[in-house]
Amino acid sequence: MQKRTLGNSNLEVSAIGLGCMGMSFSYGPPKDTQEMTALLRAAVERGVTFFDTAEVYGPFTNEELVGEALAPVRDQVVIATKFGFDCGGSDTRPGAAGLNSRPEHIRQAVEGSLQRLKVGTIDLLYQHRVDPDVPIEDVAGTVKELIGEGKVKHFGLSEAGVQTIRRAHAVQPVTALQSEYSLWWRRPEAEVIPTLEELGIGLVPYSPLGKGFLTGKMDESATFDSTDFRSRLPRFTPEALKANQALVDLLGSIAKRKQATPAQIALAWLLAQKPWIVPIPGTTKLHRLEENIGAAALTLTSDDLSEIGSAASQIAVQGDRYPENLEKMTGR
């Protein structure tokens, strides 16, 4: 597995990471702990060194799973986690917890994450969503103190807007921004990616396969259990799935030519955008993990990329990516 460095930091990770959320949260019922432990260790054996979790996934159970599974290989991996939600409530649906980035809450969250992850230091700590009630300078300043205390190594933001990124970076250099980015969500290209390039900040795209859609394994007849948060996303209605099939067909035609899969083309396209982009596709299946890792060895030529770019620009993706209550938490 090739390595990449996130921005101007010295944080080197595998070119493709592993998003761990779906193992415990959000995509249907939690998966079997032993199976997921085996999957996490299989990822390490195959060269993955970058793992993504958050205290709100579960809540808490995903960090516990990741911490337990990766404890034997702790010195070989980089674990990223996130703070920024009140995780104590009974409603555990994504986005149900209120935002909370008050300095004392950040410290409390970090102590909990250190214990659950079984680590002495958090490699990369993201603010999960920008809290409009807490100045970003206070957030960055608190993380700066935690870095000084040796509890955190690197500071990240998730789904932050350009002005917030600049203000935070001025207080404590931001190593990475985690945001949704894929062939069916390209908004970061307008302002965010140029800003990251200017400031020397890495980009970690989550949902790089469009929450599974870009794999080509679902169509308009796809149904989602009530415990699967895609059941509430406008982009996963039968009408939107049907309308957006053109994007999957495009990936499929290029995949056939390259003797690859649509998912591999989608990931290779992301990797080709910038050398400091590290996608974190999530999966709970070993064959999908191996398929995703295979994208790192796939080279798209400039002709391939321009073909994908011009064809994709003709396709108007249908449906909002989030309901309004979740979308308003992004881009602040």
Joined together, the tokens standing for residue 52 give 């993504």
Q: In residues, how long is the chain?
A: 332
The rounded distance, in Å, linking the Cα atoms of 96 and 99 is 9
The rounded distance, in Å, linking the Cα atoms of 143 and 120 is 15
Instruction: Give start and end residues of each alpha helix (H) in 95-222.
Output: 103-117, 136-148, 162-171, 192-199
With contact defined as beta carbons under 8 Å apart, do 90 and 117 qualify?
no
Query: Catalytic residue positions?
Result: 57
The angle formed by the CA atoms of residues 211, 289 and 174, to the nearest 5 degrees, is: 65
The rounded distance, in Å, linking the Cα atoms of 262 and 252 is 5
Residue 217: alpha-carbon gap to chain centroid? 20
